[in-house]
A and B are shown apart, each in its own frame.
Chain A
Amino acid sequence: MLDENFAKQPDPPNDVASEIAAAPASAASDGLSHSKEARSSEFRGLAVGVIGWLIPGLGHALLKMWGRAIAIFLAVGLLVYLGAGMRGNLFAPGGDDAFTRLGFAADLGSGAFYFAARFLESGGADVSHADGDYGTRFLATAGVLNLLAALHAYEAARGRKA
């Protein structure tokens, strides 16, 4: 009797087993697509970051963050313009000491505006006055601010921050 009943009972649908059986293939395809998406997102983020570094504000403009794009372009541009106008020291590559190398790295952070500053500052730097010293800080700050903005654009492009 017991055996009969047991024999008559249909097998319950074993969803777990079927899921486990299908899991490797599904996980592999999901993993592949996630990996592709992650790589694509990473590449997009890097491209936006580099473009934002080269042309201040363009990274955010590509992400259609117009307010931020304009603010970054104007802030970095103004800092570079004022720094060059105050005859701040614009560091050149190949410095002897760490301070010069760090200064060059900071100045180069403003991307294309670094070369604009070199063009604007035709009379050369003059740090014998406070204005020139402040100008040096303005130029370095422009670069660091632009690097910060490029990093922000990179994060936003990856969807991690907006």
Chain B
Amino acid sequence: MTNDVATTVRTLLEAAQLTVTDEEFEIFVTTYPDIRAAADAMYVPEVRYEEPGLNFDARWEITP
């Protein structure tokens, strides 16, 4: 499991082109399961039909 997490973290960091120190890598490996669990907890049923709170204005020249 730890090896799986380490592989996942290494892949994510490499994909983002980030080169961290060995100590920092260990911290990410240690905390990743909690980070992932917290993110998964956002997928609550009540949000099923919610639209994201985006605020994008397609008009041109909205600022001077």
Q: Do A and B interact with each other, yes or no?
A: no
Which B residues fall within an 8 A CB radius of A?
none
Binding site for B on A (CB under 8 A): none
